[in-house]
Amino acid sequence: MRTSLLVLPALLAAACAANAQTLPDVLLKEFHRQSGVTGMAAAIVRDGQLVWHGETGYADAARKQPVTSQTEFRLGSVSKFVTIAMLARLVDQGRIDLQRPVRSYLPNYPAKQYEFTPLQLATHTSGMGHYEYGDEKFDERAEPYKTVTEGLTVFQDRPLRRAPGTAFEYSSYAYNLLSAVMESAARDDFRSMIADTARLAGTPSLQPELVAPVGANWSHLYTPDGEELPRRNITSKWSGGGMLANAPDVARFGLKTLDPAFIKPGTLAWFTTQQKFSNGEGIGGKDFKQAIGWRVSTDYYGRNYFHHAGAILGGRSQVSVFPEQKAAVSLLANVMFTSAVALSTESLYDAYLSASVQGGAKCREGTRRFNAVLRDKPLEGTVRFSREGAFCRADVSADNALGAAVARNGAAPGIVAYSRAGEGNTYFVTPVGIYPGKAAGETLAVQLSQGVVELKLN
């Protein structure tokens, strides 16, 4: 009976000179292969320089046009990351007070059961709901929304779902409304504000998506099964999910937020501090703390970063900024699919850093059994160790709970882990993400979305 394998290529970084591919290249291509996504791109910017970028798959599958560094992807809710940077700049300029009632900026916006503020819109605590079933039918409208205010008509008559400041409820509609507040405060239209911000950030590909004309560098849009999607109207939600950019520019924009000439240090510190509910409790969950729009986390290797993810028809995205290292990472795809994109950017960044580690790969050989615990349940399997080019590889059996945890569409995955010299930082590639981990002695540890799993070798 054939055993399905979870390929956990334990990549302990340190590409040797004979191998032209860097570790991030290998990780990205393996992620693309396992996920089945049509096209992907990623980039790392550090100390103001684009230090790595990688592309794989197609921007236009029918014409076999590959993804390039210039391919522009839908950003989905990574658009919120940009909007928050724009909001921080308005705070710096003294043009907006985040504690004022929203209707003091927009007196014609329908009154609700409670007053709420721009700060509550930005932290998803205003009481406003997210999309509901059937809401996206408005995307079928042929004509673009001429103004941000016109786009508010989709939801503006709905009551608040709960009292502001009492609960976290993710809401893209809150960002639509926030952009209207920003227009009023800045006395400028939001589309022009995006253009001005992109110019100042040095990210020319960053733009609001229009109905037409389609840009020459825009990626086509696909389903997880590879079928091409029509490009629907998303002009009502530029601030929350309607922007486009290429991977290097997304990373550049992330790094630009650290520039004191772009956002003042005091404002940046405030915007990256966990916010609180009205009862004083911190906003957030197990994966991140909710700051002002941005999310704040500590990665598996102990680095602090702020970030945002995005998902939209024909797009999946992530931007992560590591302030202490003055670095930013982006990961973009032209498919909306379930994926651990934040953990994937952690892994890509650490894999880039690992290239500076000296020494060749001294790999284990042969097959070992392992035992582990996942969600309080025991699991077991095998690990087959081998050498692959400059890296050590481990193929881990996936016909168990570990495989199910990282499977796509219920199929047993291959999980690939690569590591340098069989010890140290290790990266587990699966159909739904690149997970960070470590190899030490008789243990392979991996940080899954469900928590850390330690594979104890027998």
User: Which residue is associated with the tokens 């986390």?
Assistant: 297
Residue 153 lies in a domain: yes
Same domain, 363 and 262: no
Own/partner pairs for 256-261, CB < 8 Å, 24+ apart?
256/85, 256/201, 256/202, 256/203, 257/85, 257/88, 257/321, 258/321, 258/323, 258/326
Strand partners, 387: 392
Is pLDDT at 358 greater than 60 in this prediction?
A: no
Give yes or no: residues 326 and 399 share one domain.
no
Q: Tens of pLDDT along 70-113?
A: 999 999 999 999 999 999 999 999 999 999 999 999 999 999 99
Q: Specify if 309 maps to a domain.
A: yes
Tell me how far apart the alpha carbons of residues 124 and 83 are, in angstroms, rounded to a whole number. Answer: 14
Domain that holds residue 20: 5-37+354-457
Q: What is the pLDDT of residues 196-221, one digit of tens each?
A: 999 999 999 999 999 888 999 999 99
Looking at the domain assignment, is residue 243 inside a domain?
Answer: yes
Domain boundary among 275, 308, 336: 336
Which SS3 state, helix, strand or coil, does residue 437 take?
strand
What residue type is assigned to position 294 of the chain?
W
Residues 296/306, Cβ–Cβ less than 8 Å:
yes
Looking at the structure, tell me whether residues 451 and 382 fall in a common domain: yes
pLDDT for 416 equals 85
Q: For 23-58, what is each residue's pLDDT tens digit?
A: 899 999 999 999 999 999 999 999 999 999 999 999
**Judgement on whether residues 78 and 179 belong to the same structural domain of the protein:** yes
Find all residues with CB under 8 Å of 81, minimum gap 6, and list them: 253, 254, 293, 294, 307, 308, 319
**What does the alpha-carbon distance between residue 229 and residue 269 come to, in Å, rounded to a whole number?**
40
Q: Are residues 88 and 222 in the same domain?
A: yes
**Residue 281 covered by a domain:** yes
Same domain, 209 and 171: yes
Query: What pLDDT is recorded for position 345?
Result: 98
Of the residues 283, 306, 336, the one at which a domain ends: 336
Q: Are residues 236 and 87 in the same domain?
A: yes
Q: 193 lies in a domain?
A: yes
228 and 326 both lie in a single domain: yes
Task: Indicate if 313 and 402 belong to the same structural domain.
Answer: no
Task: Give pLDDT tens digits for 362-420.
Answer: 788 899 999 999 988 899 999 999 988 888 889 988 888 999 889 887 666 788 898 87
Q: What's the pTM value of the predicted model, to 2 decimals?
A: 0.93
Residue type, 424: G
Give me the number of domains the chain comprises: 2
Buried b (16+ CB within 10 A) or exposed e, 372-384: bebeeeebebbbb
* Residue 358 belongs to some domain of the structure: yes
| Statement to judge: residues 212 and 244 lie in one domain | yes
pLDDT mean across residues, the chain: 91
pLDDT at 390: 82
**317 with 375, same domain?**
no
Domain end position, chosen among 278, 302, 336: 336
Q: What integer pLDDT is reported at residue 334 of this predicted model?
A: 98
Minimum mean pLDDT among 125-134, 242-251, 306-315: which range? 125-134
388 assigned to some structural domain: yes
Tell me the mean pLDDT in the region 300-320.
Answer: 97
Residue 60 in this model has a pLDDT that exceeds 90: yes
**CATH code, domain with 87:** 3.40.710.10
Nearest to 438 by CA among 447, 450, 430, 429: 447
Cis peptide before 213 (omega within 30 of 0): yes
Is 53 a domain residue? Answer: no
Q: Does the CA dihedral 314-188-173-153 come out positive or negative?
A: negative
Question: Do 104 and 150 lie in a common domain?
Answer: yes
